[in-house]
Amino acid sequence: MREMTEKEIRDFISEWRWGTILAVDGNKPYAVEVSYASDDDYIYCGSRPGGRMAKSIKSNSNAAFKICDSDPEHKKWRAVIVEGIAERLVKKEDILFFTRMLAKKMGRSENSFDALAEKIASNPDESNSIRIPIKVMSGRTNWP
């Protein structure tokens, strides 16, 4: 096993499409698997509007995002974690930026999630869209 370089971590974040958002719900940890998008500065993701994760992030913005991969026999694996303060996206333009990046990452047309972004932006108090800065990160792998 070895530490991943920053370039390997950023490449993995950019390459992968699925991860786990981790937050604190009261005094208990809480995690949800989600699709996500990223740019050079943030990981963008979301969960059910007004749901447990959205409420957790609203009351305690400390969060982490975990991405893992392995071959079927677990002979090769890699894992990355990004930790930071989650910022809730409540402005329509920020939500559209996230959902359009996500649509492109998923191989869909850029505007595929515009209706969803409109719905989220219409009730910003319940917004489930967040971004976490890609500043505090680490990764390990047993790949060469």
- Domain boundaries along the sequence of the chain: 2-135
pLDDT in tens, 6-31: 999 999 999 999 999 999 999 999 99
Torsion over CA of 9, 13, 15 and 21, rounded to 10 degrees?
A: 140
- Name the average pLDDT for the chain: 95
- Cα–Cα distance, 39 to 102 (Å, whole number): 11
- The architecture in CATH of the region 2-135 reads Roll (2.30)
- Strands 2-3, 136-141: parallel, antiparallel or unpaired by DSSP? antiparallel
Q: What is the pTM of this model?
A: 0.92
C-alpha distances out from residue 47 to 23, 72, 83, 144, Å: 12, 28, 18, 35
